[in-house]
Structure 1
């Protein structure tokens, strides 16, 4: 995947028999997925024009240009949708796209290297940074709060963490 594209959603199969698709949106404002211009496949070779027709349970029903039957819609099941980075809105200083955090080096407040951000998870209670690296037998989940992560420096490619006691091995 190019750094110029970010995954914003996925097709979840057909909705009905008229060629509509089920669409899952991964954006902060779920309906905004259709506003990010044409959406691409991960490799950028396929482009889809999408129009949301209505909200449904766990997503949206949508029309995709060129898809006219249930069978055609079913072939799209599981395909991830990517938007050009330029099409996404700018964020305030204290907000970040998950993709920008992945790969950042993590240091404690004393400058000791703790690892690297491998993923960002949210299971409903807030974001967690999954940190892995040398000296860690298993990845560590660090709450992504201002208290536990006081500094994110995208330019320097690092995160300064003040983790709760006992999260990282001594």
Structure 2
């Protein structure tokens, strides 16, 4: 069988690259074009950006609430509440806030981790320095004691 068979003639425009069916509306043909116009590109980019924003917002909710007693969807503080309507609305508000403002939350989280890492590093260095000072003062006192013992 050949593709040029009369049975396949209605499908032929759909099978060719960039081809489309005759009964498609003019607006949908823009998406099938090899070089869509700027308005079509803008529609695609905006749609992908909005979908990506919501996906990363949902991922942020799951990560932020990830280790809680209530699972991944409910914050810890909701378990301590009585589950009244105001608490349910607060959880809904939390979800909306995280979905809309997740970049700000991640910037704050990253800054917190960096500052915490530097603080821990400097704390270890300070403790090591204090330990070395104690060790040096102990060893110098021991040497002074030995010198005193030998002098007497």
Normalised by the shorter chain, which TM-score bucket?
under 0.3
Higher fraction of strand: 1
Return the structure number with greater relative CO, CA threshold 8 A, min gap 6. Answer: 1
Higher fraction of helix: 2
Name the TM-score, length of structure 2 as normaliser.
0.21
Name the TM-score, length of structure 1 as normaliser.
0.20
